[in-house]
Structure 1
Amino acid sequence: MKLYYSPGACSLSPHIVAQEAGIALQLVKVDTKTRRTESGADFLAINPKGYVPTLELDDGEVLTEGPAIVQYLADLKPASGLAPANGTLARYRLQEMLGYINSELHKSYSPLFKPDTPEATRQERKDYLRKRYALLDAVLARQPWLLGERFTAADAYLFTVTNWARHVDLDLSDFPAVLAFQKRAAERPAVQAAMDAEGLARRATAAA
């Protein structure tokens, strides 16, 4: 399988999941500005949406959208525990958390990466994100991972997006449980392997 990725982007999440599950992926780097792969291929011909992550299966099928991709990868290796079994309440809890991260965190970061975003909008988004992190801080204050005692695909996603905070000057110092989570996740060998493969620094202290 091929994972089309951009270093440090949301595609890091399925990359971590694959590393945790022991799934070998062929990494294909994408320039998200030119929409070209590192070999010069037209990425839009592969994924008309034009963004990562994109997973190309061995039979040529293409799967897009991070929450779908991480569940697909986790289900390839059910013993990994990265996704609870289909049909269980725990699986819906995973989907609930993936949806929350996707809609409330991930998309709220997007304007902060654009240099032409007005300062008022930038501040509004930061305030919005802090309110959403408050809920997660309460969850992580009582358990090590989002769903309890076991690392799941949701944790890979949260680690990935929260790692963006230091790049957009989002202060998360009011959320010690979130920062402890980031440190805990960054110490996992699979997370380190994914970050190394993408040429990323392992420093993941979001308050920095």
Structure 2
Amino acid sequence: MTLENATDPFAQFRAWFAEAETAEINDPNAMSVATVGANGRPSVRILLLKGLDDRGFTFYTNTQSRKGDQLEATHFAALTFHWKSLRRQVRIEGPVERVTDAEADAYFASRPRGSRIGAWASQQSRPLDSRATLEQAVADTEARFDGGEVPRPPHWTGFRVVPDRIEFWQDREYRLHDRILFTRAGEGEWAKGRLYP
């Protein structure tokens, strides 16, 4: 599928993502996630895409983290995938919604036990006086669950970016790149246009 012929941005993303999975050495699902706090100050970090369907792009986090606070305050986010080996990037913007408890529970249960313990032990984004304090919190959490099931913490869930803009960028010679922008035009409908590089 070429950008010129693409009519569905989700189908185009899936095609590019499938190529990235074979071309990128590490984490083809790595993406920059940008949020803005109530104070208007932007913040960006790298996360991993953990779900994709026709509703949007899903990642998981601690809701009490800085990004969790910002997502809850503004309900918007922007994502960027950059696949350097393919000389491509995809930019996604839109409102954010929480996934259902059932979705969050299912994904949490699929994580390694150590990651589930870490979700309880880490007070993500808060000041930490030493590594020893974190290691003690992990040990305390392991003792708390003592080999049993580790349920999803109430402060841990997923967020889905429901895109209203998806831009595909393909590197070209002399920086005359291809930029194709899809904007949501209605339920299940997209308008497509080209941008200057």
TM-score grouping bracket, smaller chain normalisation: under 0.3
Q: Which has the higher helix share?
A: 1
- Return the index of the structure with the highest Cα Rg: 2
Q: Which has the higher strand share?
A: 2
